[in-house]
Amino acid sequence: MTFDSLTFAVFLAIVFPAYVLLRSWNGRKNLLLAASCVFYGSWNPFFLILLAFTTVFDWWAAQRIHAATSDTTRRRWFWASIIASLSLLGYFKYAQFFANTAIEWLALVGVTYKPIDLGIVLPLGISFYTFESISYIVDVYKKRITPTKNLRDYGLFMTFFPHLVAGPIMRFGDFNAQTTTPRTVTADAVATGAFMLVGGLFLKIVGADQVFAPVSDIVFAPDYKAGFVAAWAGAFSFSMQVYCDFAGYSLAALGIAKMFGFHLPPNFEAPFASVGIAELWTRWHISLSNWLRDYVFNPLGHYRKGRLRGYLNVMITFTACGFWHGAAWHFVVWGAMHGAFLVGERILKDSIGDWKLWDAKPVRWLLALLTFALFSWAVVYFRAPTIALAWDRTLAMFGFAAKDAATLAWNGEVWVFVVALVVGLAVQAWLKPRKGWDWLPALAWPWRVALLSLMSLAIILSPGKTNAFIYFQF
């Protein structure tokens, strides 16, 4: 059941009216918990059992941490919860990767084994809800929050269906503050939420799947010999594709939550208008960036122990970020590249950061384009299925393509991609100074209706089948 499916439309058409008609706040929360379990269980009932185990165990562990009278007991329950969460994530997401890696390394010294197929199916959204459970346990252990004694409320935090599968990554304190008092469903919130839902589906179905995916699929095909132009076109197209795909999902999630009276944190705020990679990571997958900062980078020591140690902490954090995204070496390389970009940017700013020329608008525009180019170079290692293919595309991007390298045929699909790329970057620049959806209330109702109608029509008329949301694989 995905946001862009007919099944979800039926699901929402049943759950939302029932939620509105209920007058009891406890009844509404019970309904949301039950609906969220149905939503997640529709993928695979076993996934729901696994999520239920994680939820109940972490809720119980948090109670024990809070009630403990000795630091030793607190630490034991803390590590029991952390190890349990990471063990489940490690087994389901990384066991096959480590098994295959061991076989490859043994082969280097002449030891040959038949590849192991563990037959593991990755539970949907396990990377996201594991991070949420870890943040809850850490915050309880650090005494930043008081654990809830209500299992239903903690269960709703873990399972709330708009953000369950692909985020945004929530903090219990932020979500629980909304569940302690009844949510109000207003006509304005429902209208805005519906607009955001349609906007998110438009980004996904039209932008990601119909405009940008065709070009990236061509360029990143293993047998395609990309030239300079084709390689950069493929990189730019996938940058926009993954943005439209994931930002579209996040926007839809925020819209659905808003319809029910809940506020989820924004996950994207015009990232491709960023001046520098550091700024980009404050605008791209914001909930993950904040999580990595608070639960990895800061505990490692930030820059408090000197520049060199700070640079190392950056590299560790973003290499881990890459590995979180996928159990493959090319994801690790992608994360390490972003770490290297951030370190290089920090060194440059420390050296010539007070150069007044940086403030000139034309220079900032050029720096924004350079930032997008660096992001697109790195994203090659995110998109390509192997490091070898990613390296081949990197060589082409820097003018070292094979003599028989192919170029793109300038057909209708490619021209649509070029126009959409220019328009997309221009829209990002327009959105940058506008916080979230603050611009929408200023838009006159006739324009809102017209925009909503155009997006809806484009979704309905979109040809072909849509792809799965990219971040569902993580």
The DSSP string of 298-329 is HHHTTTTT-HHHHHHHHHHHHHHHHHHH-SSH
Q: What pLDDT, on the 0 to 100 scale, is given for residue 354?
A: 65
How high is the pLDDT of residue 438? Answer: 67
Helix-strand-coil split of the chain, %, nearest 5: 70, 0, 30
For the chain, the structural domain boundaries read 6-183, 188-473
**Three-class secondary structure of residue 406 per DSSP:** strand
**Under 8 Å between Cβ of 169 and 132:** yes
Residue of 409, 363, 436, 393 lying closest to 236 (CA atoms): 393
Concerning whether 325 is annotated as a catalytic residue, the answer is yes
Per the CB < 8 A criterion, the answer to whether 240 and 209 are in contact is no
Question: What is the DSSP code (8-state) at residue 470?
Answer: G
Instruction: Report the candidate in 171, 158, 144, 134 with the shortest Cα–Cα distance to residue 66.
Output: 144
CB 343 within 8 A of CB 311: yes
C-beta separation of 412 from 463 below 8 A: no
Output the pLDDT for position 305. 82
Kindly write down the DSSP assignment for every residue of 205-255, as one continuous string. Answer: IIIIIIIIHHHHHHHTSTT--B-HHHHHHHHHHHHHHHHHHHHHHHHHHHH
User: Could you tell me which of 274, 283, 229, 248 has the C-alpha nearest to residue 418?
Assistant: 229
The first and second tokens of residue 68, run together, are 């403990």
Q: What is the DSSP string of 7-58?
A: HHHHHHHHHHHHHHH---HHHHHHHHHHHHHHHHHTT-HHHHHHHHHHHHHH
Helix axes of 329-352 and 307-325: crossing angle, nearest 10 degrees: 150
Q: Among 53, 79, 266, which Cα is nearest to 155's? A: 53
Residue 402 to residue 390: CA distance in whole angstroms: 14
**Which residue among the candidates 163, 325, 330, 338 is catalytic per the annotation?**
325
pLDDT number for residue 319:
95
Give the number of other Cβ atoms within 10 Å of residue 213's Cβ.
24
Structure tokens at 222: 């293993």
Give φ, ψ of 64 to 5 degrees: -70, -40
pLDDT tens string for the chain (474 positions)? Answer: 788 888 889 999 999 999 999 989 999 999 999 999 999 988 888 889 999 999 999 999 999 999 988 889 999 999 999 999 999 999 888 888 887 788 777 777 777 777 667 677 778 888 889 999 999 999 999 999 999 999 999 999 999 999 988 879 999 999 999 998 899 899 888 988 999 999 999 999 999 999 999 999 999 998 888 888 889 999 999 999 999 999 999 999 999 999 999 999 889 999 999 999 999 999 999 999 999 999 999 999 888 888 899 999 999 999 999 998 888 899 999 999 999 999 998 988 888 766 666 677 788 889 899 999 999 999 999 999 999 999 999 999 998 877 777 788 777 788 888 899 999 999 888 888 877 766 777 677 788 888 888 888 888 888 766 777 777 776
What is the helix (H) or strand (E) element at residue 386, kind and residue range? Answer: none
User: pTM for the full model?
Assistant: 0.91
| pLDDT value at residue 311 | 92
Cβ atoms of 148 and 63 closer than 8 Å: no
pLDDT score at 370: 93
Output DSSP code: residue 357.
G
Q: How far apart are CA 222 and CA 238, in angstroms?
A: 15
Q: Which two tokens stand for residue 181?
A: 């008092």
Q: What is the DSSP letter of 120?
A: P
Token pair for residue 126? 């396990």
